[in-house]
């Protein structure tokens, strides 16, 4: 997809279509300046057609009009933005993505006005960024395994900006939008691939390729024999059931140029279960169908690192991924087994389908040992969180108010929904074990997302920490504006926002 900027008026741009905006405003929409100028060129017929069709400009609504060759573009589309007082960059991102999904197979080029003419208080750069994200993410499709899939898509987006100063702001926003989208799409692709393709070795190769392309990033891959010497028995306990698949422990390091005056080091830790059968505590068939997605946390970390040299955080950032499938074999860990985590605590395995928290135990403490000053983990961890919050909202847990609030802000501006859930200390005893320091499932069926987060907290050594349970929003069972059914890339844009804001 190509993005262009021009100082030509919309009426003088040669494209398949032009796109203008309107706000909901009672009986008649509130029209933007660009709409009025296009309508004038169309001799008022656009306004009359909208009036006749009773177009209200509700959020995401779309009106199509044939230009009758009065301007260079064949079609004029009017896109509703909803009420002006409710308008936000997230709404703009979503309606552009929705427009793209509807029209991508019907037009190859579209021109739209500079966003300053939309009559909103959102700055040009931010609006340009989310428009770019909307076009790119709205056009996403994972169809590489379909023989007869149509690849027809929007090819050219032209933004009309009247002055050099505004054009610079538009370009700045475009470049940001491309970076955010590129990282999101890498994550989507990794999660959408079959587990036969995205093995632990494949994830390790992706990490190594990222390091090769980013001069500020170093990658280290630890194999089974090295992990045994390091004492990562919790991770290896889960991995032992996959007899023919070697586990990989992936460590990425980004080092900014210059001095680390902020004295911070951020750790991003992603759950990397490349397929989850449930192990000996095997899942039901319907629950297993999409379990290739259980490495979505790892894919999110890799997506962020793929652009980290472009976003240039001012502090060091490390990425930690313990990658393995959770499979059944004669060597699989079984309920009642006890493993010793990297931090020395023993874990009684009472359910092998609660494996993610066990691998994360070693990953989190590795981040501690690498001197992380704050830790953020992402994991498709519990069905309980999805039951509580639905499929579009991630559960946010943490032990540090400042870190939690900053991530909430980063999520909000990224259009990614999170909701804080509590970590009540009185629930800690639910994870007790009769034979070990802690068990991997609670003794109660209730509050499963909370008890899982409390388990993880045992391995962060009191460092500022946030856990994001992305079991719901990592994967769509039904398409929405920003993407088709499948992986969403949830968390990538939030983390980029957070790292850029440090």
Please report whether residue 442 resides in a domain: yes
Examine the fold and report which residue of 169, 199, 216 is the final residue of a domain before the chain moves on: 169
CA distance 366 to 111: 50
342/469 same-domain check: yes
The answer to whether 272 touches 295, Cβ cutoff 8 Å, is yes
497/383 same-domain check: yes
Backbone angles phi, psi at 467, to 5 degrees: -110, 130
Examine the fold and report which residue of 112, 138, 169 is the final residue of a domain before the chain moves on: 169
CA distance 205 to 293: 18
CA distance 75 to 19: 9
Say how many domains are in the chain.
Answer: 2
232/154 same-domain check: no
CATH of the domain at 292: 3.40.630.10
The answer to whether 357 touches 447, Cβ cutoff 8 Å, is no
423/333 same-domain check: yes
**The overall pTM is greater than 0.75:** yes
Examine the fold and report which residue of 147, 169, 191 is the final residue of a domain before the chain moves on: 169
Please report whether residue 239 resides in a domain: yes
Collapse the DSSP code of 377 into the 3-class scheme (helix H, G, I; strand E, B; otherwise coil) and give the result: strand
CA distance 399 to 382: 19
Q: What is the pLDDT of residue 398?
A: 99
What DSSP element (H or E) covers 173? helix 164-192
190/274 same-domain check: yes
Please report whether residue 176 resides in a domain: no
* Residue (of 384, 192, 197, 359) closest to 290 by Cα position: 192
CATH of the domain at 106: 3.40.220.10
Please report whether residue 11 resides in a domain: yes
303/350 same-domain check: yes
Q: What is the pLDDT of residue 152?
A: 77
Half-sphere exposure of 21 (CA within 13 A, CB side): 25
| Angle value at C-alpha 123, between 118 and 128, nearest 5 degrees | 75
480/409 same-domain check: yes
62/94 same-domain check: yes
CA distance 104 to 223: 45
85/218 same-domain check: no
Q: What is the pLDDT of residue 41?
A: 96
Q: What is the pLDDT of residue 119?
A: 55
* Residue (of 76, 317, 133) closest to 218 by Cα position: 317
* Residue (of 135, 114, 61, 120) closest to 88 by Cα position: 120
Q: Is the dihedral of CA 381, 323, 326, 186 positive or negative?
A: positive
214/149 same-domain check: no
Q: What is the pLDDT of residue 116?
A: 57
What is the C-alpha radius of gyration for the chain, rounded to an integer number of angstroms? 25
CA distance 335 to 293: 24
132/185 same-domain check: no
**Digits of tens for pLDDT over the chain (502 positions)?**
999 999 999 999 999 999 999 999 988 899 988 999 999 999 999 999 999 999 999 999 999 999 999 999 999 999 999 999 999 999 999 999 999 999 988 999 999 997 655 556 689 999 999 999 999 999 999 999 998 877 778 999 999 998 999 999 999 999 999 999 999 999 999 999 999 999 999 999 999 999 999 999 999 999 999 999 999 999 999 999 999 999 999 999 999 998 777 789 999 999 999 999 999 999 999 999 999 999 999 999 999 999 999 999 999 999 999 999 999 999 999 999 999 999 999 999 999 999 999 999 999 999 999 999 999 999 999 999 999 999 999 999 999 999 999 999 999 999 999 999 999 999 999 999 999 999 999 999 999 999 999 999 999 999 999 999 999 999 999 999 999 999 999 999 999 999 999 9
Domain span at 387: 181-501
CA distance 232 to 369: 13
Residue 463: which residues within 8 A CB-CB, separation 6 or more?
367, 368, 372, 373, 374, 375
- Token look-up 């050594």 returns 461
Per-residue tokens: 237: 């306990």
130/195 same-domain check: no
Running DSSP on this structure, what letter comes out for residue 379? E
Pairing of the two strands 2-6 and 156-160:
parallel
Half-sphere exposure of 250 (CA within 13 A, CB side): 34
* Catalytically active residues, by annotation: 283, 357
Please report whether residue 146 resides in a domain: yes
Please report whether residue 175 resides in a domain: no
Please report whether residue 289 resides in a domain: yes
């Amino acid at each position: 997809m190509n993005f262009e900027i021009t100082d030509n008026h919309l009426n003088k741009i040669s494209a398949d279509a032009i796109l203008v905006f309107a706000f909901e405003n009672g009986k008649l929409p509130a029209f933007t300046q660009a709409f009025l100028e296009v309508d004038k060129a169309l001799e008022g017929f656009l306004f009359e057609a909208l009036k006749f069709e009773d177009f209200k400009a509700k959020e995401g609504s779309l009106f199509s009009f044939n230009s009758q060759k009065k301007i260079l573009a064949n079609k004029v589309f009017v896109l509703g933005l909803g009420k002006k007082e409710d308008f936000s960059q997230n709404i703009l991102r979503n309606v552009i993505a929705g427009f793209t999904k509807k029209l991508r197979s019907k037009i190859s080029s579209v021109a739209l006005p500079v966003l300053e003419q939309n009559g909103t208080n959102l700055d040009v750069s931010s609006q340009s960024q989310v428009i770019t994200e909307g076009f790119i993410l709205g056009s996403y499709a994972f169809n590489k395994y379909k023989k007869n899939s149509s690849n027809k898509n929007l090819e050219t987006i032209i933004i009309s900006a009247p002055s050099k100063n505004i054009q610079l702001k538009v370009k700045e926003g475009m470049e940001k939008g491309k970076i955010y989208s590129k990282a999101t799409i890498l994550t989507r692709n990794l999660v959408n691939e079959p587990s036969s393709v995205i093995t632990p070795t494949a994830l390790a190769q992706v990490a190594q390729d990222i390091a090769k392309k980013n001069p500020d990033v170093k990658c280290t891959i630890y194999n089974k024999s090295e992990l045994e010497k390091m004492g990562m028995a919790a991770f290896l306990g889960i991995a032992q059931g996959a007899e023919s698949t070697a586990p990989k422990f992936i460590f990425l390091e980004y080092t900014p140029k210059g001095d680390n005056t902020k004295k911070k080091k951020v750790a991003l830790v992603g759950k990397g279960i490349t397929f989850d059968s449930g192990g000996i505590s095997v899942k039901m068939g319907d629950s297993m169908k999409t379990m290739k997605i259980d490495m979505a946390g790892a894919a999110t970390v890799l997506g962020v690192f793929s652009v980290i040299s472009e976003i240039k955080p001012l502090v060091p950032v490390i990425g930690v991924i313990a990658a393995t499938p959770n499979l059944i074999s004669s060597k699989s860990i079984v309920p009642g087994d006890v493993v010793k985590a990297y931090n020395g605590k023993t874990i009684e395995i009472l359910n092998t389908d609660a494996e993610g928290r066990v691998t994360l135990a070693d990953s989190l403490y590795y981040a501690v040992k690498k001197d992380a000053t704050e830790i953020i983990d992402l994991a498709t961890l519990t069905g309980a969180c999805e039951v509580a919050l639905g499929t579009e909202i991630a559960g946010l847990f943490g032990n540090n108010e400042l870190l939690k609030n900053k991530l909430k802000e980063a999520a909000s501006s990224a259009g990614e929904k999170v909701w804080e859930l509590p970590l009540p200390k009185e629930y800690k005893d639910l994870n007790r074990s009769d034979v070990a320091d802690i068990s991997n499932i609670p003794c109660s069926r209730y509050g499963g997302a909370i008890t899982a987060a409390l388990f993880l907290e045992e391995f962060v050594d009191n460092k500022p920490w946030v856990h994001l349970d992305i079991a719901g929003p990592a994967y769509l069972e039904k398409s929405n504006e920003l993407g088709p059914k499948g992986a969403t890339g949830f968390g990538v844009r939030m983390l980029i926002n957070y790292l850029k804001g440090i």
